[in-house]
Structure formats: structure tokens, C-alpha cells
Amino acid sequence: MTRKLFGTDGVRGRANSEPMTAEMALKLGAAAGRFFRTDGSRAHRVVIGKDTRLSGYMIENALTAGFTSTGMNVLLLGPVPTPAVGLLTPSMRADVGVMISASHNPATDNGIKLFGPDGYKLSDEAEAQIEALVFSDIQPAQAENIGRAKRIDDGRFRYVERVKSTFPAGLRLDGLKLVVDCANGAAYRAAPEVLWELGAEVIAIGVSPDGFNINDGVGSTAPETAAAKIKETGADLGICLDGDADRVILIDETGAVADGDQLMALLANRWAEEGRLKGQTLAATVMSNLGLERYLAERSIDLHRTPVGDRYVVEAMRAHGLNLGGEQSGHIVMTDYATTGDGLIAALQFLGEMVRTGKPASALARSFERVPQLLKNVRYGQGQTPLDTPGVQKAIAAGEAKLNGHGRLLIRKSGTEPLIRVMAEAEDEALMVAVVDEIVGAVEAAV
């Protein structure tokens, strides 16, 4: 069936516009409640977390009404990172977990991500069944079976303790000065607490959320803010999280940015040396740089590529028994520790290597030379399908012919925003730029 609601990472859109309205959130809560409450028992639970967007209050209340109307008991965590929902859903014996967040998007957007009772994001099949229920007549619970809602005050503390337990035993962060940029988002309290409790001197920025400033000039999409703070303070490392803290971008002591590919290269090599990289394989998306693939091949490590979206990375990891994967954008998934991407845990793994080796961040964050890569986005309007137009298809075919044997081309629709993403890699940068610009021009003409 054609999906109307769910994209690559749940339901997402502009707040108070379809599909991110209170009415739709209520229907989605009721549909998910009916899907997971498979009997008349009153023991069914849902865990709900959110980031710091103003619209989170509206969506949270609407979801709560929908879930309780179908007999689900709701446990409200308040502002917590997305991986905390993945952790606490099975821990609290819940049937389903919900995270209200639009991740790295601006404050005017919001989203709803669903987790199953095992703490993993739902499959396409489960989302399709829930979506079908949204657009059907949902049977409410009997009056005596309406669910309850309860605030959980210590969700953040449970998450903090879990995160600290993933840091190598016996090591401390004493003597390290760290800049942590929390994007005015969900980890604005948890991330500085974890790093300070492990012994670091913490310089925290992006920790004053007001409902409107999430990801606004801070966080993983604006690493230049943390880079400037590193130069100002002489910090050893910068840790840039996004709005829901499931991704991380690192900045070394010189101010240079290291993306998820560099972090995955470091961890994959280290874990392979220790014999703990399952399947001798890293799972990463089609967006990961060709330089990463070459680096892994030189070390007899396989790269299993997946569609874009950390959910698809996790699905491939579970299907093939892998324990390390992620995205260039900074989602790093380590199923030994978490069920989804966790920016803070990934940063701690990098810090563990800094402490273990005594090397500066710059020596660890540049494992391979990137093949030149260029990504450009083109926004399109509702109902438009620019990739289907003859002009765009002709430009793509021409670009592929030019790059044949000399690079890689990837054109796709974003699963979270109305964008066409045009990406190319090639050793010949002039050729790469020309190919991307020609395709972007054709897409712009089509929209």
C-alpha cells in the first residue's frame, strides 16, 4: 500500500499542519494503541518521550488521549533523548515506545517515532498496519477500561546511568576539557551530566531550550558554533548532538569536523582488532563515503550498504547478526549498548579511545581520506514528482554516463522533508560538481 503518514523515520512535518496536527496525533495514538493492545487486559503500557519543541506539549497530550482511549496506560518521560525511549520501553515492560521529535529539523517541525516492545523501531509492515488503522474506524475501549497516564520523573536518570555503564571500565575522563553542544534539545541536561560525572571538565552550549531554538545555530547541523568554542577555550574535543541526541558530529582540538563515517572507521577497526566486530562487517548507508569502503577493505572488513535511514541500518544489522553500523550524518548504532543511534554513547566510545591511547582527537578522527563528495538539495512542492519528469531522468542518465567508472551518483527523495537530494562522488572534483549542478538544474526546472 502507498504510505501516507510514515517516512523513513516515523511521521514528520510542520507542526499544526497535516500530518502533524493534534487530530492526527490523537488518531495515531488510538491506532497504535489498538494495534498493540491485543486483548482486554488493563496491563498494556506505552512510554512517551519528547524533545524540547513547543509543539511537543500539543502532540504529547493528543497522543496520550488517543492511547488512553483504547485502554493503554501512558508513562510520560518528558524531555529525554530518543535512545532513552528505546532503552526504557523494554525496561518498563511497555508494549510500545513513542518519541516526539523532528530530530535535526527546525523548531517549527515535529515528528512521531514508534518503537516496539523490544526497543527497536517498528518495521515497515507494522507501520503500514498502524497507518491502515488510522484511516479506519478505531474501536475505543469500554468506559471501565480507559487507560491512565502517569509522569515518570526519573527517566533521565535511568538513561544517564545506562550511558555511563557503556564507558570502558576503569577509565575516567579526568584532565580532558570537552565542549558539548546539545542543540537546545533533548539531551540538554543528560549529556553534560554524563561527561561531568565521568570526570571531564565540561563546557556546555546549546543547553537553554525555550521551545523555539532547538537546532538553531547549534548542534550537529551547525558544528561551527562548537568549533569556535573549542578554539576559544582550548578544549580537547567537541561533541555536537542533534535535537533528539541520536546522532553526533565530533570536532577535534584543531576545530576540524569528523562525521559519522570517520567515527565508524575508528570503531570498526578497533573492534575488529579486539575480535568483537560481529561478522567482520560494518553496516552503513549508500551515503557513506567511498573512502570508508576502501579503508575497511584494506583491513578485511566488509561494508554492508543499506538504504538511507538508521532504521534500515538496524534492520540489516539484526538480519545479519551485526553489532556496529550507522550513517555519515552521525547516527552510530551499537547494538551491544542500545537499540538505536545514540550520539552520547558513540562519543564515549571515541573518548575511550582517546584515554586508552593517549592520542589527541585529531589523530583518531581522520582514519581515511575522503573521496570528494558533493550533496545538494532541491525543495519541491506538495504533489510534485520531479524525479519522474523526462528532463530530470535525461539529466540523471547523462550524469551516470559521465561518472561511469570514475565515481558514484545517488539521487533520492528525502524521507523526512520535501527535498530531492543529489549526491555524487568522484576523484575529479570538477566533473563531480558539473554532474551535480546539471541534475540540480534539471530538478529545479521541473519544480
End-to-end CA distance of the chain: 26
Distance CA 312, CA 415 (A): 12
Structure-block grid coordinates of residue 133: 488503522
Task: Tell me if residue 103 is catalytic.
Answer: yes
Produce one character per residue of 244-266: b if its CB has 16 or more CB atoms within 10 Å, e if not.
bbbbbbbbbbebbbbbbbbbbbb
Nearest CA to 256 out of 281, 231, 233, 275 is that of: 231
Distance CA 333, CA 284 (A): 10
Beta bridge partners of 169: none
3-state DSSP assignment of residue 39: coil
Distance CA 71, CA 304 (A): 42
In order of 6, 10, 57, 125, 208, the CA distances from 3 in angstroms are 6, 11, 26, 11, 37
Are 246 and 331 in contact, with CB atoms under 8 Å apart? yes
Are 341 and 321 in contact, with CB atoms under 8 Å apart? no
3-state DSSP assignment of residue 11: strand
Nearest CA to 122 out of 114, 134, 130 is that of: 114
Nearest CA to 138 out of 130, 128, 126 is that of: 130
In order of 28, 48, 63, 186, 279, the CA distances from 59 in angstroms are 10, 11, 6, 16, 41
Q: Which of 55, 101, 103, 288 is catalytic?
A: 103
Number of H helices, E strands in the chain: 14, 19
Nearest CA to 34 out of 150, 147, 130 is that of: 130
Nearest CA to 112 out of 67, 45, 148 is that of: 67
3-state SS, 183-227, equals: CCCCCCCHHHHHHHHCCCEEEEECCCCCCCCCCCCCCCCCCHHHH
Which residues are identified as catalytic?
103
